[in-house]
C-alpha cells in the first residue's frame, strides 16, 4: 500500500475536508480525491461518506484509521533504520530556511557532530513550504524556519525573534530607491512590506536567498532588509549602514520536529540549538566569512 495514499487519508481525517487536506499536502483537490479513490479500491470499502455538509468516516474508515497511523509509524522507523550509515546508531535529518543557515545553523551542526558522535546527520536547505512538505512526508526530522505550520505529529517551539533592518552600502541613502533589492523572507514579511511601502510594489531586483543578496550588495551596492544578527559585523566595519527612519520588522523563528523522532535525540539537539541561538543573540558567534573583506 502506498504511504502517500495512507498519509492523504489521515490528512483528510484531520481536516474534515478534501480541500483542507489538499492545502496541507500542497497538492490539488482532485489529486486528493484520486488518492482516496485508490485507497477505497484497495480496501474494497468506502472510507468516507460525502455530502453537501461535508464528509465523515464510515465504520470501515474508522477501523482503518488506527491501522493507518501504525502503518506510517512502522514505515518511518524502517526508513530511518535503513538510512543509518554503518558505524552509527541513528540518523537525524535537519533542515532550515536559507536565511537561517548563515551565522546560526552552520554553527549548530558542528556542535551536534561533537556531542552526538553516535548519530549521523543530513542537512537540507529549502523554503519553508518545501520544508513543511518534507516534514509531513517524514523525510525531514527537525527544522528551523520562520513560518512553521502546526500539523498532527509535528511539534513547534519558538526560538527567537529575528529583527529585520533596512541596510545599505551607502551611508547617505534615504528610503527605498532604484537600487533597493527585495528579499522574499516569507508571507509575513511580504505583508509587512506591502503595508509599510504601498507605493513600492514592483522592485527592480528580487531575490529569494538572503545570503546571496548580501554578497550581491557588497559587490554591487544597494539596499535590502536583512537580519540584524547577520549584518551586525558588517555594520561594525562600515561595510553596511542602517537607513535612518525606516521601520523594522520582527520575524519570529521557530524549531519544529516530528514527534516520532527519539526523545533523547530531540532533547540533545534542541539543547545545542538553544545554546547556539543564545550565543547568536549575544553576538558571540564568529562573523560570516565575507565580513573580513
**pLDDT, tens digit (0-9, with 9 covering 90-100), for 99-147:** 898 888 999 999 999 999 999 999 999 888 888 878 877 789 999 998 8
Instruction: Say yes or no: do domains 83-161+252-292 and 162-250 share a fold.
Output: yes
Each domain of the chain, given as residue ranges in start order, spans 3-74, 83-161+252-292, 162-250
Which range is most confident: 13-27, 62-76, 189-203, 268-282? Answer: 268-282
Whether residue 287 is predicted with pLDDT greater than 80 in this model: the reply is no
Share of the chain above pLDDT 90, in %: 52
Whether residue 13 is predicted with pLDDT greater than 60 in this model: the reply is yes
d(CA 184, CA 147): 12
Average pLDDT rounded to a whole number, residues 90-103: 89
Q: What is the mean pLDDT of the chain?
A: 88
CATH topology for 3-74 is Arc Repressor Mutant, subunit A (1.10.10)
Nearest CA among 280, 281, 276 for reference residue 108? 276
d(CA 195, CA 164): 15
pLDDT at 36: 95
d(CA 87, CA 119): 9
Q: Does domain 83-161+252-292 have CATH number 1.10.10.10?
A: no
Choosing among 3.40.190.10, 3.40.50.620, 3.40.50.970, 3.30.1330.10, the CATH entry for 162-250 is 3.40.190.10
- Output the DSSP codes for 210-268: HHHHHHHHHHH--EEEEEHHHHHHHHHTTSSEEPTTPPPEEEEEEEEEETTS-HHHHHH
Average pLDDT rounded to a whole number, residues 145-154: 84
Q: What is the pLDDT of residues 173-184, one digit of tens each?
A: 888 888 999 998
Q: Is residue 228 within 8 Å of residue 251, measured between CB atoms?
A: no
Phi-psi region of 265 (alpha: psi -120 to 50; beta: other; left: phi over 0): alpha
Dihedral sign for Cα 32, 38, 42, 43, please. Answer: positive
d(CA 124, CA 118): 20
Which of residues 214 and 94 earns the better pLDDT score?
94
pLDDT at 289: 56
Q: What is the pLDDT of residues 201-241, one digit of tens each?
A: 777 888 877 778 888 999 999 999 999 988 888 999 999 99
Amino acid at each position: 500500500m502506498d504511504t502517500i495514499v495512507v498519509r492523504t487519508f489521515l490528512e483528510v481525517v484531520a481536516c474534515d475536508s478534501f480541500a483542507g487536506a489538499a492545502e496541507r499536502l500542497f497538492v490539488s483537490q482532485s489529486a486528493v480525491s484520486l488518492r482516496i479513490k485508490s485507497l477505497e479500491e484497495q480496501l474494497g470499502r468506502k472510507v468516507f461518506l460525502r455530502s453537501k455538509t461535508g464528509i465523515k468516516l464510515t465504520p470501515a474508515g474508522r477501523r482503518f484509521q488506527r491501522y493507518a497511523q501504525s502503518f506510517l509509524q512502522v514505515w518511518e522507523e524502517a526508513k530511518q533504520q535503513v538510512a543509518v550509515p554503518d558505524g552509527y546508531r541513528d540518523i537525524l535529518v535537519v533542515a532550515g530556511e536559507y536565511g537561517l543557515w548563515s551565522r546560526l545553523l552552520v554553527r549548530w551542526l558542528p556542535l551536534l557532530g561533537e556531542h552526538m558522535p553516535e548519530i549521523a546527520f543530513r542537512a537540507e536547505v529549502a523554503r519553508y513550504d518545501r520544508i513543511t512538505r518534507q516534514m509531513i512526508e517524514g523525510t525531514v526530522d527537525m527544522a528551523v524556519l520562520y513560518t512553521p505550520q502546526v500539523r498532527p505529529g509535528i511539534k513547534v517551539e519558538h526560538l527567537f525573534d529575528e529583527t529585520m533592518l533596512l541596510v545599505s552600502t551607502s551611508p547617505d541613502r534615504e528610503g527605498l530607491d532604484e537600487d533597493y533589492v527585495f528579499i522574499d523572507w516569507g508571507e509575513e514579511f511580504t505583508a509587512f512590506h506591502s503595508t509599510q511601502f504601498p507605493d513600492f510594489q514592483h522592485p527592480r531586483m528580487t531575490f529569494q536567498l538572503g545570503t546571496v543578496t548580501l554578497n550581491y550588495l557588497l559587490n554591487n551596492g544597494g539596499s535590502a532588509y536583512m537580519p540584524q544578527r547577520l549584518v551586525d559585523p558588517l555594520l561594525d566595519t562600515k561595510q553596511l549602514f542602517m537607513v535612518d527612519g525606516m521601520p523594522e520588522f520582527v520575524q519570529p523563528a521557530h524549531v519544529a520536529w516530528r514527534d516520532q523522532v527519539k526523545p533523547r535525540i530531540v532533547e540533545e539537539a534542541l539543547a545545542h540549538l538553544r545554546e547556539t541561538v543564545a550565543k547568536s543573540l549575544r553576538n558571540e558567534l564568529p562573523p560570516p566569512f565575507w565580513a573580513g573583506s
